[in-house]
Amino acid sequence: MRKSLVVLIGLIVASGLLLGPRPSEAVVNTCSVNGIYNLNGYGQNNTRIGGTVTFTQPGTCTLAGTFTSSITFKSDGGAESTLAVSGTYLVGSDTTTTITATSGAVATIGGLCSQRDSNDLCNALHIAGDIPGVTTVTMTMTKAALTGAAGPTGPAGAAGAAGATGATGATGAAGATGATGATGATGATGATGAAGATGATGANVASVLTGGCLSPSNATNTFSAPGLTGNPCSTTIGPAQTPTPGSTQNGVSGLRGKVDVGPPASTSWAFSVFKNKGTSVLLTCTISNPNTSCVDNANTATFGAGDTLTVQIAPAATPTGVGTATWSLKYISQ
């Protein structure tokens, strides 16, 4: 396979001359090879070579230009392969073309251009020679776009006969515009309809009450009311009472408590809901080591309109002090 690839590279890099320049032609420079050239040739072992090479002339014609290529090759009994080779090229005053491959192959070879047009552009490159240690190749690169002189314009064909024009149908007569009718009298206002039935009572709204306080005591009970999250915990129940609207039956539930530091082993924080400064615990949950939160999903309570609600935060066995204690519960109003 490597030998076949090198044969393919020889298409670009082989040296040799098939057709030389005519003395009457203009001096050739690098700009005389430019554009896309179709490539055809053969190598050893009946290797068929084809593809295209694109030459890009330099800004100054005495300097080297660049080229890219997409080459296909196929040996007898083998699959067709494609190789990309690129590099630089230079055309001397004697039409000798030197091609230096730097990508896809590393080699420097030479050939000659011929079939130059009136603008001194090469329409064909002929390359034949040896790839040292590999094989001999012969190939021709032909300018992809060769434009010959335009031929004379042929005579115009005879015009075909015009078809017969069909008869135009008769236009119907326009009807007369009718007179505008008189505006009718305004009708009497209808009787007011009967009042609609009263709609169904809307569902009770469930709210989430939240509260909390700062620095609850780890030695004695403290108290919190809804909405007082940013205030220090109260040491008495009085300031922490909040009047509430009446709830539905068992409409107060889901007490949740949280501290920012979990209590050590054998200590805890208990959150409890009281009504009207009472002593009966209505909802309660306890935070024990290593947790920092608790929830009461078992108990419910009912509050009447004006009843006060207070949450007690009670330490047990002197837990580690905390910065914040917060709580929430579900409250369904009547």
Of the spans 139-153, 175-189, 302-316, which averages the highest pLDDT? 302-316
> Does 97 have pLDDT greater than 70?
yes
pLDDT in tens, 190-232: 899 899 898 787 778 899 999 999 999 999 999 999 987 889 9
Per 3-state DSSP, the chain is made up of helix, strand and coil in percentages (nearest 5) of: 5, 45, 50
Q: Which of 9-18, 34-43, 186-195, 262-271 is least confident?
A: 9-18
For the segment 133-156, the average pLDDT, to the nearest whole number, is: 72
> Does 23 have pLDDT greater than 50?
no
Instruction: Determine how β-strand 308-316 pairs with β-strand 268-275.
Output: antiparallel
Better pLDDT: 311 or 5: 311
For the segment 306-312, the average pLDDT, to the nearest whole number, is: 97
Using the 8-state DSSP alphabet, how is residue 226 labeled? Answer: B
Amino acid 24: pLDDT:
39
Backbone φ and ψ for 34, nearest 5 degrees, come out as -160, 140
Is residue 58 reached through a cis peptide bond, with omega within 30 degrees of 0 on the bond before it?
no
| % the chain with pLDDT above 70 | 87
Mean pLDDT score of the chain: 85
Using the 8-state DSSP alphabet, how is residue 32 labeled? Answer: G
> Does 10 have pLDDT greater than 60?
no
For the segment 63-91, the average pLDDT, to the nearest whole number, is: 88
pLDDT in tens, 109-118: 778 888 778 7
> Does 15 have pLDDT greater than 50?
no
> Does 2 have pLDDT greater than 50?
no
Rounded CA-CA distance 55/52 in Å is 10
Using the 8-state DSSP alphabet, how is residue 234 labeled? Answer: B
For the segment 48-67, the average pLDDT, to the nearest whole number, is: 92
> Does 272 have pLDDT greater than 80?
yes
* Closest to 245 (Cα-Cα) out of 196, 304, 157: 304
Amino acid 5: pLDDT:
46
Rounded CA-CA distance 267/314 in Å is 11
> Is residue 165 exposed (0-12), middle (13-18) or buried (19+ Cβ within 10 Å)?
exposed
Amino acid 187: pLDDT:
85
pLDDT in tens, 122-139: 899 888 766 654 457 778
